[in-house]
């Protein structure tokens, strides 16, 4: 009861009351304090005075010396200006001889092994170019010929070229691949200017195919609800926004039951920035071969993971998005980009498993879609039946060094494959825990099954159960390397696992539900901030 | 093959209608071990010769059933009992998947078994024939040949020749010891 | 009713007297009305022994220069095939044009193409037998041989399209020491091996049963003792005994009755390779009847092509008359329209279903980068056979040959369109790609034609190309019988006609 004397007050009691002395404007023990204190206790709340209005922001003052610096920059060119940028894979060129880096597609252009002049869509179309047409960038002091690329979102008056390509003496992997843009840099006194360079663009004849690791760029998410994405406004109205898709139907058969772990993954598209570290980590962990520029041109990429980059097709006249053909994105000023890491979805009702006649792919009891390399005879039926097209076939013996002169004469490509994968001590890059596949064998993401089996072995050695694991005990290579933590892997049967919480959340979407394949991977919506 | 088992009487006819009439008369006259050798099968000849319809269709039915049984046994044993595996979430005994092979196995056993049985039956269910490498009957060209084998229970060479001539055959020959003589 | 002594067939000497309509015998009916009799299936007033002479001649003479030239060309194409296959096994699947996403290409297209061609032979042999179509007797031997060789050509492709073909035997479910590890019976490829092997063996058996009496005919004409012994062994000592004919006829009917569902089931199972997948454009219930009809269509076209050549080169125009050719042309027209109906149904269902995936696939087929293949397919399969509505065109040998070749071109492109367009653009736009034949794809395709023609040329050298005993069975006895002994008439020479 407020006001009554408290028997045996603790030091904490004194402490609390002394903290309120400033607020109430009186000392504990005095009558004004006790009155206000009892009032606070009776009412249960205390209203502070309204805060003062914030002071007006101070005028911005540039740091000293800025004015001088700004004044000495070259004038903005009135025409086309060139931006040189370090290529994401090779940096300034130091990574040019690394096959993994060269084969990792640029996150936005999706070009592997080479580079291109990025040109704004309207200028590209006005010049009547097609991707790969050779153009000459003339900066006055130097000229470079490079293939052209229609880069959505590029400013009309800007072109860009990557630095670090086209080296001539870096090693057998990277030599003479891509345009060398270094000559275009301008030396002015003691400074190197690599941006804002005035250039002219001229089409020269010929076409050098760009090794794209992706087919079509544009996705119409009304017709193809394959990338869960939404805006902040829509998300706040409904947390499930962006996950709408045609539902699946009932199954004719009861599902197989399992008491063991059920490995699943969740990929947060709001966190994924398309950097591609997961792609390379997977390649390193699983001995995925490098196929080279010609292999990519032939459509025989081997990387188990890929980061698809889509441009959201703009709506036409407010109706459902217009049917998108193979054509490039219509000219839009700010294209909405979507990244979607795509890997084997480890479907519960995997269409690939049904059609393999040789029993080379089947479902394990712990929820993995298994690929048995030594049983695979290579009909490629599974790859055809995969709706996500995540299966990779070894069209050549990439990882075997052919010594027969007859063979290398018949198949000159085998020399290139050997240079990319097996030259010298390159064999040491292979992970001894994972098979190196021969030609004629299908492969795909295995959820790093070697790490899962390793955890099982450890559990057996330690006398624990082999079928259930603590969250975080098994970490696949992609999750381990992801800098933003977009990839979360775990046992969805474990009530404490993070992946269970994420997969059952409102933002989670499994792809192609209408097909009834039931993927084990959930994609969390990319929520684009439209209120900034 | 002893000489007597391949001896008999041949009578030549030139048209199916003549052969049918002759066959009916031969059957009615009580001859048992006789046959007609023709370039193509003649409709109605079985009744004219007093034959029962072929028993082959019953064999076919049994073989078809065996085929179905074997295919079902194989698939169910493999997929359900021996090493059941999870293929795309399908049940172990996915009977719709088993239908095509079951059907094909049925056809395989029925068709090929029937053919083999028919060829064997054609040799076994016959009366002893004039040896084709030694005696040219012309039955594969354009002759419709009445053949009365000497193994007939009421065989008498002279009587047989007389009987065949009485049927109006265009030529009558006696076959003995691997050769034939005009009679 | 007594049979008139003279047959109206005695005056039908060759194709020029055939009209394709029944012969009208005015006033021949019992009440004085007209009687219609069908035109003869064998022209030239041939006797039964002339049939033997005309047809066995080519197995008894040394082959002509024309045969040797054709054989040399075909054998060189087989050489190309052999070289290409050796290169394929040595270097790997990479030499073909297949990639991601188009994992199946020319090999599977060729496989479906050749199996489809094979089905017409069985249809002529078996289905037309059940329907009592007597005109089949002139062509069924060659057509069934075409089936066997087409199945042989088709059978190499499921082996060579494998990434590791030396393990192809794992597809046979036999007890083994690997577990035992069997096969996955859910997979249409596992069904395929049972279906194709059954089809090949049953077709071979059916064809061989038909050959038995004819092998006996060849034996009886042979003079060299080795030849006589060989053909006697091959014909299992056939004498023409009617007790044997009884069982033979029963078995032949049963084989025909079983071969008929094989025609439908085998190509249905081949269509299941596509229909049981989830790919839009493949996953359609129309595929089984669509494939079967397409197979009959392309097979009949190949039979017309082969018969057009054979009847001229081997002087068989009296046995494979223009009436035979016209009947096949009518079947071609019918099946062509059914195929066109199937195309229209697919298009309609792609729209009506409201399925975005399906609708896109069909728009892409017609208007996408492979629209040229679609145009060829549609023109050759739907529009070109419509020429056969005109009787004069149905009976014109050059038109028949050209149309049949174009139909086979169109049917090849149909399989190309089906396999490639559904794979190259499916669900995820990021995985879209293109597919092109490489030099090795062309080489193996041409080589397979070489293999087919090599086998066929060997067949015409060694075995009678027309079913002699069956043709004799449909000839009018009044014309075909020999004269009684005492009135000897000189036998006909090759190709001669009795005046």
Model pLDDT, residue B135: 83
What's the pLDDT band for A327 if we cut at 50, 70, 90?
low
Taking Cα atoms as reference points, which of A447, A2, A115, B105 lies closest to residue C190?
Answer: B105
Per-residue pLDDT 10s for chain B (183 aa) are 344 456 888 999 998 999 999 999 999 998 888 999 999 999 999 889 888 888 899 999 999 999 999 999 999 999 999 999 999 999 999 999 999 999 999 999 999 999 999 888 888 877 888 888 888 888 999 899 999 988 888 888 888 888 999 988 888 888 886 666 666
CB distance B88–A349 less than 8 Å? yes
Instruction: Please tell me whether residue C490 adopts helix, strand or coil conformation.
Output: coil
Please identify among residues 67-126 of chain B the ones whose CB lies closer than 8 Å to any CB of chain A: 85-91, 94
Which of A462-476, C229-243, C474-488 shows the lowest mean pLDDT across its residues? C474-488
Radius of gyration, CA atoms only, chain A: 30
Q: Does residue C490 lie within any of the structural domains?
A: no
Q: How many CB atoms lie within 10 A of CB A532?
A: 5
What's the pLDDT band for A121 if we cut at 50, 70, 90?
very high
Q: Does residue C485 lie within any of the structural domains?
A: no
Q: Does C92 contact A at CB distance below 8 Å? A: yes
Taking Cα atoms as reference points, which of A85, A105, A100, A274 lies closest to residue A181?
Answer: A85
Q: Does residue C440 lie within any of the structural domains?
A: yes
Q: Does residue C266 lie within any of the structural domains?
A: yes
Model pLDDT, residue C486: 60
Task: Give the residue numbers spanning the domain of C384.
Answer: 8-480
Model pLDDT, residue A2: 54
What's the pLDDT band for A385 if we cut at 50, 70, 90?
very high
Q: Does B171 contact C at CB distance below 8 Å? A: yes
What average pLDDT does this structure show over A286-311?
A: 94
What's the pLDDT band for C488 if we cut at 50, 70, 90?
very low
Confidence check: pLDDT of C192 > 80: yes
Pick among A292, A326, A355 to test the C interface (most C CBs inside 10 A): A355
Model pLDDT, residue A424: 79
Domain count, chain C: 1
What's the pLDDT band for C171 if we cut at 50, 70, 90?
very high
User: Is the separation of the CB atoms in C136 and C259 below 8 Å?
Assistant: no
Of A351, A356, A362, the CB nearest to B86: A362
User: Is the separation of the CB atoms in A385 and A442 below 8 Å?
Assistant: no
Residue A178 corresponds to which tokens in the numbers above? 């891509």
CB distance A324–C167 less than 8 Å? no
Model pLDDT, residue B4: 46
Which of A136-145, A178-187, A194-203, A422-431 shows the lowest mean pLDDT across its residues? A422-431
Q: Which chains touch C (3 or more CB pairs under 8 A)?
A: A, B
Chain C residues with CB inside 8 Å of B127's CB?
A: 241, 243
What average pLDDT does this structure show over C197-216?
A: 94
Confidence check: pLDDT of A354 > 70: yes
Percent of chain C with pLDDT over 90: 76
Q: Does residue C493 lie within any of the structural domains?
A: no
Q: Does residue C487 lie within any of the structural domains?
A: no
Confidence check: pLDDT of A373 > 80: yes
Taking Cα atoms as reference points, which of A465, A488, A468 lies closest to residue A476?
Answer: A488
Cα three-residue angle B137-B140-B143, rounded to 5 degrees: 60
Q: Does C272 contact A at CB distance below 8 Å? A: no
What's the pLDDT band for C175 if we cut at 50, 70, 90?
very high
Model pLDDT, residue C134: 92
Separate counts of helices (H) and strands (E) for chain B? 5, 5
Model pLDDT, residue A221: 86
Kindly list the domain boundaries of chain B, sorted by start residue: 3-53+129-182, 56-124
Q: Does A348 contact B at CB distance below 8 Å? A: yes
Model pLDDT, residue C496: 54
In sequence order, the 6+-apart residues with CB closer than 8 A to the CB of C496 are: none
Alpha carbon distance A213, A105 (integer Å): 6
Alpha carbon distance C126, C207 (integer Å): 10
Alpha carbon distance C330, A447 (integer Å): 58
Confidence check: pLDDT of C339 > 70: yes
Q: Which residue has the higher pLDDT, A84 or A68?
A: A84
What average pLDDT does this structure show over A490-495?
A: 93
Model pLDDT, residue C13: 84
Alpha carbon distance B105, C198 (integer Å): 8
What's the pLDDT band for A415 if we cut at 50, 70, 90?
confident
Contacts 24+ apart (CB under 8 A), A182-185: A182/A93, A183/A141, A183/A142, A183/A144, A184/A82, A184/A84, A184/A137, A184/A139, A184/A142, A184/A144, A185/A84
Q: Does A349 contact C at CB distance below 8 Å? A: no
Alpha carbon distance C67, C385 (integer Å): 31
Mean pLDDT estimate for chain C: 91
Q: Does residue C259 lie within any of the structural domains?
A: yes
Confidence check: pLDDT of A78 > 80: no
What's the pLDDT band for A412 if we cut at 50, 70, 90?
confident
Of C246, C480, C481, the CB nearest to B46: C246
Task: Identify each DSSP E strand in C216-304 by its residue range.
Answer: none
Alpha carbon distance C234, C243 (integer Å): 19
Confidence check: pLDDT of A319 > 50: no
Confidence check: pLDDT of A4 > 70: no
Percent of chain A with pLDDT over 90: 63
What average pLDDT does this structure show over C169-192?
A: 93
What average pLDDT does this structure show over C230-259?
A: 91
Mean pLDDT estimate for chain A: 89
Model pLDDT, residue A74: 66
Angle between helices C397-424 and C106-122 (to 10 degrees): 140
Confidence check: pLDDT of C1 > 70: no
Q: Does residue C486 lie within any of the structural domains?
A: no
Angle between helices C188-221 and B95-124 (to 10 degrees): 20
Tokens 């299908």, residue? A442
DSSP state of B20: H
Determine the distance in angstroms separating the CA of B88 from the nearest CA of chain C, rounded to an integer.
9
Q: How many CB atoms lie within 10 A of CB C157?
A: 21
Q: Does B46 contact C at CB distance below 8 Å? A: yes
What's the pLDDT band for C103 if we cut at 50, 70, 90?
very high
- ipTM, 2 dp: 0.91
- Model pTM score: 0.89
pLDDT per residue as tens digits for the range C66-90: 899 999 999 999 999 999 999 999 8
Q: Which residue has the higher pLDDT, C355 or C200?
A: C200
Percent of chain A with pLDDT over 70: 93
């Amino acid at each position: 009861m407020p006001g009554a004397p408290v028997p045996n007050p603790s030091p904490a009691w004194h402490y609390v009351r002394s903290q309120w002395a400033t607020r109430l404007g009186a000392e504990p023990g005095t009558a004004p304090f006790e009155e206000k204190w009892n009032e606070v206790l009776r009412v249960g709340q205390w209203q502070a005075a309204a805060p003062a209005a914030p002071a007006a922001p101070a005028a911005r003052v540039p740091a000293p010396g800025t004015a001088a610096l700004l004044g000495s920059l070259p004038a903005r060119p009135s025409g086309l200006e060139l931006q040189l940028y370090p290529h994401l894979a090779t940096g300034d060129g130091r990574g040019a001889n690394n096959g993994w880096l060269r084969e990792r597609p640029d996150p936005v252009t999706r070009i592997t092994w080479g580079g291109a002049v990025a040109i704004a869509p309207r200028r590209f179309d006005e010049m009547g170019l097609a991707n790969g047409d050779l153009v000459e960038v003339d900066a006055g002091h130097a000229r470079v010929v490079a293939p052209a690329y229609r880069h959505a979102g590029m400013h009309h008056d800007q072109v860009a070229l990557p630095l670090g390509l086209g080296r001539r003496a870096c090693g057998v992997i990277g030599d003479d691949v891509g345009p060398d843009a270094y000559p275009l840099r301008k030396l002015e006194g003691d400074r190197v200017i690599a941006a804002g360079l005035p250039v002219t663009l001229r089409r020269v004849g010929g076409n050098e195919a760009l090794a794209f690791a992706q087919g079509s760029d544009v996705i119409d998410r009304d017709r193809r609800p394959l990338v869960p994405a939404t805006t902040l406004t829509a998300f706040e109205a409904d947390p499930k926004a962006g996950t709408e898709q045609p539902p699946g139907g009932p199954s004719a058969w009861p599902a197989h039951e399992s008491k063991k772990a059920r490995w699943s993954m969740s990929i947060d598209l709001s966190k994924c920035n398309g950097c591609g570290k997961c792609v390379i980590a997977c390649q390193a962990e699983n001995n995925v071969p490098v196929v080279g520029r010609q292999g990519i041109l032939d459509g025989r990429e081997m990387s188990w993971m890929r980061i698809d980059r889509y441009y959201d097709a703009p709506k036409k006249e407010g109706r459902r998005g217009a049917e998108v053909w193979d054509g490039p994105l219509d000219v839009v000023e700010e294209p909405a980009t979507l990244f979607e890491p795509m890997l084997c979805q480890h479907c519960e009702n995997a269409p690939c498993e049904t059609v393999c006649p040789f029993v080379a792919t089947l479902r394990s009891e712990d929820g993995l879609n298994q690929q048995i390399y030594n049983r695979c005879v290579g009909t490629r039926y599974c790859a055809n039946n995969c709706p996500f097209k995540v299966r990779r076939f070894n069209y050549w013996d990439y990882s075997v060094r052919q010594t027969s002169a007859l063979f290398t004469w018949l198949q000159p490509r085998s020399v290139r494959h050997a240079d990319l994968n097996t030259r010298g001590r390159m064999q040491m890059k292979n992970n001894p825990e994972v098979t190196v596949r021969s030609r004629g064998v299908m492969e795909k993401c295995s959820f790093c099954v070697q790490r899962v089996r390793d955890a099982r072995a450890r559990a057996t050695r330690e006398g624990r159960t082999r079928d259930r694991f603590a969250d975080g005990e098994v970490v696949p290579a992609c999750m381990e390397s992801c800098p933003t933590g977009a990839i979360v892997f775990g046992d969805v049967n474990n009530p404490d696992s993070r992946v269970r919480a994420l997969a059952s959340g409102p933002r989670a979407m499994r792809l192609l539900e209408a097909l009834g394949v039931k993927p084990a991977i959930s994609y969390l919506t990319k929520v684009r901030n439209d209120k900034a | 093959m002893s000489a007597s088992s391949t001896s008999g009487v041949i009578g030549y006819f030139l048209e199916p209608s003549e052969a049918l009439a002759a066959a009916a008369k031969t059957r009615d006259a009580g001859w048992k071990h006789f046959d007609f050798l023709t370039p193509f099968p003649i409709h109605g000849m079985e009744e004219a010769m007093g034959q029962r319809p072929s028993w082959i269709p019953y064999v076919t039915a049994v073989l078809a059933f065996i085929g179905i049984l074997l295919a079902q046994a194989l698939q169910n044993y493999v997929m359900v009992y021996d090493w059941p595996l999870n293929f795309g979430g399908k049940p172990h005994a996915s009977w719709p998947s088993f239908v095509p092979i079951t059907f094909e196995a049925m056809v395989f056993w029925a068709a090929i078994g029937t053919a083999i049985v028919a060829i064997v039956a054609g040799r076994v269910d016959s009366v002893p024939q004039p040896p084709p490498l030694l005696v040219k009957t012309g039955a594969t060209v354009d002759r419709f040949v009445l053949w009365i084998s000497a193994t007939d229970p009421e065989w008498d060479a002279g009587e047989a020749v007389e009987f065949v001539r009485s049927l109006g055959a265009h030529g009558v020959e006696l076959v003995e010891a691997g050769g034939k003589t005009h009679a | 009713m007594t049979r008139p002594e003279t047959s109206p067939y005695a005056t039908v000497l060759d194709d020029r007297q055939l009209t394709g309509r029944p012969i009208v015998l005015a006033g021949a009916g019992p009440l004085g009305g007209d009687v219609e009799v069908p035109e003869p299936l064998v022209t030239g007033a041939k006797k039964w022994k002339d049939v033997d002479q005309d047809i066995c001649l080519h197995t008894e003479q040394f082959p002509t220069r024309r045969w040797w030239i054709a054989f040399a060309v075909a054998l060189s194409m087989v050489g190309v095939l052999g070289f290409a296959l050796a290169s394929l096994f040595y270097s790997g699947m990479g030499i073909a044009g297949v990639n991601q996403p188009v994992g199946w290409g020319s090999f599977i297209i060729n496989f479906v193409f050749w199996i489809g061609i094979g089905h017409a032979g069985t249809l002529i042999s078996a289905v037309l037998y059940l329907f009592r179509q007597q005109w089949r007797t002139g062509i069924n031997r060659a057509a069934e041989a075409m089936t066997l060789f087409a199945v042989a050509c088709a059978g190499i492709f499921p082996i060579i399209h494998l990434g590791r073909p030396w393990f192809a035997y794992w597809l046979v479910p036999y007890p083994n020491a690997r577990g035992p590890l069997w096969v996955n019976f859910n997979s249409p490829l596992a069904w395929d091996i049972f279906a194709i092997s059954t089809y090949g063996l049953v077709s071979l058996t059916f064809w061989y049963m038909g050959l038995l009496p004819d092998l006996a005919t060849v034996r009886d004409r042979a003079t060299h003792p080795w030849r006589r012994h060989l053909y006697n062994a091959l014909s299992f000592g056939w004498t023409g005994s009617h007790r044997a004919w009884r069982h033979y006829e029963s078995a032949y009917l049963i084989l025909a009755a079983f071969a008929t569902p094989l025609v439908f089931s085998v190509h249905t199972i081949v269509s299941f390779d596509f229909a049981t997948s989830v790919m839009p454009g493949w996953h359609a219930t129309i595929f089984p009847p669509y494939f079967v009809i397409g197979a009959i269509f392309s097979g009949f076209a190949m039979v017309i092509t082969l018969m057009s050549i054979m009847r001229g080169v081997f002087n068989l125009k009296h046995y494979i008359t223009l009436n035979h050719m016209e009947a096949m042309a009518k079947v071609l027209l019918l099946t062509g329209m059914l195929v066109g109906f199937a195309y229209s149904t697919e298009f309609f269902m792609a729209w009506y279903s409201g399925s975005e995936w399906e609708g896109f696939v069909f728009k892409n087929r017609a208007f996408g980068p492979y629209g040229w293949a679609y145009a060829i397919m549609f023109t050759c399969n739907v529009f070109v056979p419509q020429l056969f509505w005109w009787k004069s065109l149905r009976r014109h040998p050059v038109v028949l040959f050209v149309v049949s070749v174009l139909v086979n071109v169109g049917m090849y492109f149909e399989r190309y369109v089906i396999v490639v367009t559904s794979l190259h653009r499916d669900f995820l736009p990021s995985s879209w790609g293109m597919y092109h034949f490489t030099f090795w794809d062309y080489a193996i395709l041409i080589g397979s034609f070489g293999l087919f023609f090599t086998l066929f040329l060997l067949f015409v050298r060694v075995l009678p190309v027309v079913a002699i005993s069956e043709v004799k069975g449909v000839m009018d006895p009044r014309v075909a019988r020999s004269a009684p002994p005492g009135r000897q008439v000189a036998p006909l020479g090759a190709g001669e006609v009795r005046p």
